A and B are shown apart, each in its own frame.
Chain A
């Protein structure tokens, strides 16, 4: 049984971390930092979906997706659809993901994050116009790295050594 499931699941922590993610995205990012900015909110939502599926799920993902749409001045629903797909994939692979250490988890998350970003790309393509470039795929990398850092942090926080497999 995963450590995080037992101890780290209070509403305070969930809402606090998601609020922090939203705040981080409101910083005046620009240039390369903007292109490489990990999707903090998506990582937060997927992380809590993995560890607290009873509390965080489709509805939360949809709401934060609408928020992301507002941020990018995109069509409402574009990120919402993608985030919901991400939540579904995490729920589908949940028991498998929970068995891995942070690094392997991040590697497994990479295709999920890629699918989410491709969904954003596809919906935008169908609803608005072709994207300007493929830089839309850059945040997948940084989000996966962010996932690794977050998972590592949580594991260290709860006093488990890296080598100790759950």
Chain B
């Protein structure tokens, strides 16, 4: 049991005492972080340390995806091209209509002397890392403060709202997904215009809170951001209602929704930056 060089009598603290000391330090860490948010510097340090590593380690899967893409079937590509061309034609028509509406809207706004809506700048970002989603669902993007990101900006993919930037480092940033617990998104029902509050419930789902029992809402309804929080621009698709149920005990409906954006799939996302802040930079 006693190895050479080992003291026969302990001169240092026993394991139990050391455990208690470290537990104390750990608990104070939790308190300092939760209550006072005083450990952001440590977070930035870790992010600076790990970001290059993550970027390098992302390469193998990128190469694999490239190789997979290289061997894609010719027929498949042709089919995809045809579909894209058709969609492009459809979108071009929409763009013309939108331009016309934009001009008209600007004129009407000047007539009514309303403030013009803020323009938007977009930053392309790719998912760099994803941690465990036990308590909060977060992803790390490969763009950060250097690209003009700030805490609170909305993040979207091609289909809908992905989440909100919650932590910004110089070269990367953390995004809390809409499906994350405690993450609230003000929305309205596209079909009826009824406003509400969508809250993440974890496990890649959302629920629409505080909907009175007589509300007209049914499975299949789309929820869009309402824009009244001045965080998200209005009209970004968020989720689709999947189940509506009534409970005896609560005066509210239980409305479950599935997020539209590919929260666990999409690797490329856009961060929307409202223009005014950008011009003042």
Residue A15 is within 8 A (CB to CB) of chain B in the complex: no
Docked complex Cα distance between A72 and B43 (Å): 11
Give the A-B contact count at a CB cut-off of 8 A: 135
- Most chain A C-beta atoms within 10 Å of own C-beta, residue among B128, B133, B140: B133
> In the complex the two chains form, is A70's CB within 8 Å of B264's CB?
no
> In the complex the two chains form, is A80's CB within 8 Å of B29's CB?
yes
Interface string of B192-218 (1 = CB under 8 A from A): 000000000111000000000000000
A50 to B: closest C-beta gap in Å: 13
Binds A, one of B50-58, B75-83, B87-95, B227-235: B50-58
> In the complex the two chains form, is A91's CB within 8 Å of B25's CB?
no
Q: Please, which residues of chain A bring their CB within 8 A of the CB of B30?
A: 75-78, 81, 123, 127
> In the complex the two chains form, is B181's CB within 8 Å of A27's CB?
no
- Could you tell me which B residues sit within 8 Å of A by CB distance? 1, 3, 15-16, 18-19, 22-23, 25-30, 32-34, 39, 42-43, 46-47, 50, 53-54, 57-58, 60-61, 127-138, 140, 167, 174, 181-182, 201-203, 264
Size range of the interface on A?
35 or more
Binds B, one of A40-48, A106-114, A129-137: A129-137
Q: Please, which residues of chain B bring their CB within 8 A of the CB of A87?
A: 19
Docked complex Cα distance between A27 and B131 (Å): 10
Q: Contacting B131 at CB < 8 Å: which of A58, A73, A77, A124?
A: A73
Residue A116 is within 8 A (CB to CB) of chain B in the complex: no
Residue A163 is within 8 A (CB to CB) of chain B in the complex: no
Residue A140 is within 8 A (CB to CB) of chain B in the complex: no
A-B pairs with beta carbons under 8 Å apart, 24 shown:
A26-B57, A27-B60, A28-B54, A28-B57, A28-B61, A28-B128, A30-B130, A30-B264, A34-B132, A65-B26, A72-B131, A74-B134, A74-B135, A75-B33, A77-B26, A80-B22, A81-B26, A87-B19, A91-B15, A95-B1, A120-B134, A131-B134, A131-B202, A132-B181
Given A70-B46, A132-B203, the answer on whether A124 and B135 have CB atoms closer than 8 Å is: yes
Q: Sorted from nearest, which 10 A-B pairs have the closest CB atoms?
A: A132-B202, A77-B29, A72-B131, A81-B26, A77-B30, A73-B138, A70-B46, A76-B33, A88-B19, A84-B22
